[in-house]
Amino acid sequence: MNKDNKDNIPWWQSAVFYQIYPKSFQDSNHDGIGDISGIVSRLPYLHQLGIDAIWLSPVYSSPNVDNGYDIDNYYAILAEFGTMADVEQLITKAKSFGIRIIMDLVVNHTSDQHSWFLEAEKGNKKYQDYYIWQKEPPNTLQSFFGGTAWTFNEKQNRYYLHLFSKHQPDLNWENPNMRTEIWEMMRFWIDKGIGGFRLDVIDLIGKQPEKEVLGNGPNLHTYLQEMHREVLKETDLVTIGETGSVTPETAPLYTAPERNELSMVFQFQHMALDEQTGHSKWALKKLSVPELKKVLSKWQTALPENAWNSLFWSNHDQPRILSRWGDLNYPLESGKMLAILLHLMRGTPFIYQGEEIGMTNFPIHSAKQIQDIESLNFYHSQQEAGIAKEKIFEAINTKGRDNARTPMQWDDSLFGGFSTVSPWYPINPNHEQINVEANLNHPNSLFFTYQKLIALRKKYPIIIWGNYELLDTPPTIFAYKRNYEHETWLVCANFSDQKTFYSFSEKPEMTIISNYDATYSTLDQLNLRPYETFVVKLTP
């Protein structure tokens, strides 16, 4: 963990991760649905990009109410994605490219079709205690997908808890037998040679629903330490906890190495900056660049030296970053700016499929085009409340999760090279311009900026271990320094479509990367063009 003793450095601190949403990555058997063999066929592409690990969103058997985040069998693969043999092949083939496979561990809840829940419904006492039941709802706790979190079960004549859809009953983590079954299941996957786990909503497992305590419950860290002891100890597996409730103050509880819990967490404070505080994610607000600087910088500096960060702009739950905080009038410039700003920070970067080629949101115009359960629930509840359709669509088009889930754009052909038949979700019409092939054909494309950023991280320890210092600059200039062993780099981005004048007193020695293909021999009297971004090594 100590940067002075590099032999002990965990592999994931110098790694770059790539998230695959299997349903939308590559179809190989002409049914319009992405699958595991499709991913295998694209490993050379990912190797060319240079990534070290793939976070694979769930591929387990599932009724697909929440696209695989509702698992009915942790030991089986969803037929439309392929077979267990396909997954084993993926793990082996990826390894031959130096890429590890990170499985999505969804254990806050199961599907209501999981045999445990079906047994519980039938009256099997052992499995009833795997879930959370109440005679009467003790409170008005809301599901993250809208509506009540307590649903009446006819067969059981009582209510069960579901923090997500009613088809995703929450597991009772207080039950030691249930936990033992989870540890066993994790070992099953570890034995297949995976590189680790991304842990879905793991901050919720210590919940006390009757007290409305959700994230960071009293036993949360006891369970994570048990997981470490039982499953992870003496392995080099990476664990990334999805923790919607985490703050810089609580993050070290998960990630300080001496706590023996997780490698890192996903925090969401920056993702909330275009939401009105205290409201749902749908209550829109314009991003303020100073706020973004403040939040990201706080995460860079407030953690103890040995507690690791993750870095991300996008995932399968978020709209496309280029549409969100980039500028579609300057897609290349703003896309590269966002990439450089994030990848020069301290922590492990995660790229979401398509981000590296500049994929954008997919505008929908009718309710029929909504696929995601969260958006569907929102649409119906807003309609019932009499909200105007345009308002509802505006929110869904801005923040809805379907935006990230349209098929990967490989080329300009009819179905984008994703499939030979009409895909399960329409491909974005802009795939004729925005696609992998076009990116690979242009040395100046966004793809090659991502490729270069990954290569730089492998080459320069300052990117991995350097200290971070935010610079006091005008509101829309996002500038910071990294310092490492007598070396200082300066990262500067004009986060605006306006030309901006600025002077740094520092002297550059060498330009590392820039988005206007420029070299910087002085930082005095800069006339920064829209989204102009550069990284320079300073003269000592």
325 contact, one of ligand TEU, Ca ion, none, CB 5-8 Å limit per kind: none
For residue 27, state whether it binds Ca ion (rule: CB under 5 A). yes
CA dihedral over 65, 69, 71, 75, signed as positive or negative: positive
Q: Which is nearer to ligand TEU, 201 or 370 (CB)?
A: 201
> How far is 54 from 452, CA to CA, in rounded Å?
18
Query: Burial of 245 by CB count in 10 Å (0-12 exposed, 13-18 middle, 19+ buried)?
Result: middle
Containing 298, the helix (H) or strand (E) segment is helix 289-301
27 contact, one of Ca ion, ligand TEU, none, CB 5-8 Å limit per kind: Ca ion
Binding site for ligand TEU (CB under 6 A): 66, 69, 106, 144, 164, 200-201, 242, 244, 281, 316-317, 374, 401
Smallest distance from ligand TEU to CB 227, Å: 18
Helix, strand, or coil here: 352? strand
CA 69 from chain centre, in angstroms, equals 14
The single residue of 86, 200, 333, 532 carrying the catalytic annotation is: 200
For residue 29, state whether it binds Ca ion (rule: CB under 5 A). yes
52 contact, one of ligand TEU, Ca ion, none, CB 5-8 Å limit per kind: none
Containing 184, the helix (H) or strand (E) segment is helix 176-190
Q: Which is nearer to ligand TEU, 197 or 468 (CB)?
A: 197
Please select the residue that binds Ca ion; options are 13, 17, 35, 515, rule is CB under 5 A.
35
> How far is 531 from 303, CA to CA, in rounded Å?
29
Q: Which amino acid is at 390?
A: E
> How far is 108 from 102, CA to CA, in rounded Å?
18
- According to DSSP H, which parts of 329-467 are helical? 331-343, 373-384, 389-399, 436-441, 446-459, 461-465
Please select the residue that binds Ca ion; options are 9, 31, 47, 387, rule is CB under 5 A.
31
Smallest distance from ligand TEU to CB 403, Å: 10
Q: Which is nearer to ligand TEU, 68 or 508 (CB)?
A: 68
For residue 33, state whether it binds Ca ion (rule: CB under 5 A). yes
Q: Which is nearer to ligand TEU, 316 or 336 (CB)?
A: 316
Phi and psi at 263, nearest 5°, equal -75, -45
Q: Which is nearer to Ca ion, 82 or 508 (CB)?
A: 82
Q: Which is nearer to Ca ion, 27 or 66 (CB)?
A: 27
Beta strands 533-538 and 508-514 are antiparallel
Let me know if 242 is a catalytic residue: yes
Smallest distance from ligand TEU to CB 262, Å: 16
Let me know if 184 is a catalytic residue: no
Smallest distance from ligand TEU to CB 194, Å: 19
Q: Which amino acid is at 233?
A: K
281 contact, one of Ca ion, ligand TEU, none, CB 5-8 Å limit per kind: ligand TEU
The single residue of 226, 242, 356, 372 carrying the catalytic annotation is: 242
Enumerate residues 6+ apart whose C-beta is below 8 A from 143: 149, 162, 163, 164, 165, 166
532 contact, one of ligand TEU, Ca ion, none, CB 5-8 Å limit per kind: none
From 35-43, 97-105, 140-148, 347-355, span contacting Ca ion (CB under 5 A): 35-43
- Can you name the residues that pair with 489 across neighbouring β-strands? 482, 537
One DSSP character per residue, 463-481 reads HHH-EEEE----TTEEEEE
Catalytic positions, written as ranges: 200, 242
Q: Which residues bind to Ca ion, rule: CB under 5 A?
A: 27, 29, 31, 33, 35
